[in-house]
């Protein structure tokens, strides 16, 4: 377990933002690529290895839940400090082997695909 | 010929591995077989990278940031696949070795397509060799941005990953999958 990770907060984060494993992949991608990616959903889909239709749908989910914002010709992570902190906690959990297993178990139990 | 047919038909994608390390000489035998890929040297552009130990952990942690390699399990999410996903995802089923196959970055679309096709054929020979050597493997789908991160991590420049394979001794016996007939049109 990673010290200092609040599992309840992580569960709340997943309930609110991680509606699918495409959302998971998008959140990690935007965390690692803070400047976003120029282009539309096709470019993003090509980067994360998914098809454009599902990426379009799930980007909109993340915009609606307040994690992503449109900035000019690209999507980027929100500047909101609290949201950013919750993304950091999610990424920290994914980067830890036991925590990512716990996360996967949690999401599979919820029926996330 | 029967031995070849048996090797081809009995190979399975294994997603749960024993902790036992893979002896380097066994892998050398497999590369020796892959060397017989039917292609002239001028078209031999692919390169294999073998990672184990600490570097394998580094690679695995990068790969596991993305979930694309679970896609086929998640698409048919019954209890058995859930179990498999949970075993495989955190550390690629405990595979002690990951092999990456790369080709150089190529501008020309047709040359790139050709290089990828030949590399894929070589990788299939390699996979059969792994199976014949008593080892097991599972292809690992990588998102392109994850491929780039891996290349960066290992200081490999001007290359793209064509294929990644988790390798080790099997700790499960996957069922025989249903296989659709080949799509063939006789003209």
pLDDT at position B100: 96
Q: What percent of chain B clears pLDDT 70, i.e. is strictly above it?
A: 98
pLDDT at position A39: 73
How many pairs of residues across A and B have Cβ atoms under 8 Å apart?
Answer: 63
Q: Kindly report the number of other CB atoms within 10 A of residue A103's CB atom.
A: 23
- A-chain CB neighbours of B143 within 8 Å are 25, 29, 47-50
Render the burial of B39-77: b for 16+ CB within 10 Å, e for the rest.
eeeeeebbebbebbeeebeebbbbbbbbbbbbeebbeee
Indicate whether B171 pLDDT > 80.
yes
pLDDT digits (tens, 9 = 90+) for B51-95: 999 999 999 989 988 888 777 777 766 777 777 777 788 789 999
- B-chain CB neighbours of A55 within 8 Å are none
Point out the residue among B74, B82, B86 whose CB comes nearest to the CB of A21. Answer: B74
pLDDT at position B30: 96
pLDDT band of A99, cuts 50, 70, 90: confident
Point out the residue among B61, B85, B86 whose CB comes nearest to the CB of A95. Answer: B61
Mean pLDDT of A48-67: 90
pLDDT digits (tens, 9 = 90+) for B117-153: 999 999 999 999 999 999 999 999 899 999 999 999 9
Query: Cα(B177)–Cα(B175) distance, rounded to whole angstroms?
Result: 6
Query: Cα(B104)–Cα(A110) distance, rounded to whole angstroms?
Result: 42
Q: Are strands B136-139 and A74-77 parallel, antiparallel or unpaired?
A: unpaired
Q: How far is B159 from chain A (nearest CA, A)?
A: 16
Q: What percent of chain A clears pLDDT 70, i.e. is strictly above it?
A: 96
* Higher-pLDDT residue of A111, A12: A12
Give the chain B residue whose CA is nearest to the CA of A106: B86
Q: How far is A40 from chain B (nearest CA, A)?
A: 16
Give the chain B residue whose CA is nearest to the CA of A90: B65
Contact A24, A87 (CB under 8 A): no
pLDDT at position B76: 67
Dihedral, CA of residue A33, residue B57, residue A4 and residue B149, to nearest 10 = 0
Q: Are residues A21 and B145, on separate chains, in Cβ contact within 8 Å?
A: no
Q: Are residues A47 and B144, on separate chains, in Cβ contact within 8 Å?
A: yes
């Amino acid at each position: 377990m990673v010290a200092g990770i609040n599992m309840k907060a992580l569960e709340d984060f997943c309930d609110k933002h991680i509606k699918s494993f495409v959302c998971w992949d998008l959140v990690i991608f935007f965390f690692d690529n803070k400047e976003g990616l120029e282009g539309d959903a096709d470019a993003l889909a090509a980067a994360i290895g998914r098809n454009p239709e599902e990426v379009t749908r799930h980007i909109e989910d993340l915009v609606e839940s307040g994690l992503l914002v449109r900035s000019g010709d690209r999507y980027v992570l929100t500047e909101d400090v609290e949201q950013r902190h919750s993304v950091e906690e999610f990424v920290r959990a994914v980067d830890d082997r036991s925590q990512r297993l716990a996360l996967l178990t949690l999401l599979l139990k919820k029926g996330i695909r | 010929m029967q031995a070849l047919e048996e090797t081809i038909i009995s190979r399975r994608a294994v997603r749960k591995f024993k902790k036992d390390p893979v002896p380097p000489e066994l892998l050398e035998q497999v590369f020796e077989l892959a060397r017989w890929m039917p292609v002239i040297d001028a078209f031999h552009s692919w390169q294999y990278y073998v990672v184990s130990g600490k570097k394998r952990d580094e690679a695995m942690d990068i790969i596991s940031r993305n979930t694309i390699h679970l896609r086929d399990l998640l698409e048919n999410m019954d209890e058995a696949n859930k179990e498999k996903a949970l075993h495989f995802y955190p550390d690629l089923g405990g595979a002690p070795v990951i092999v990456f196959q790369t080709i150089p970055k190529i501008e020309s679309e047709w040359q790139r397509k050709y290089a990828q096709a030949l590399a894929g054929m070589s990788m299939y020979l390699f996979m059969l060799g792994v199976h014949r050597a008593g080892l097991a493997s599972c292809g690992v789908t990588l998102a392109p941005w994850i491929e780039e991160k891996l290349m960066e991590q290992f200081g490999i420049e001007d290359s793209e990953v064509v294929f990644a394979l988790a390798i080790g001794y099997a700790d499960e016996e996957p069922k025989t999958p249903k296989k659709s007939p080949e799509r063939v049109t006789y003209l």
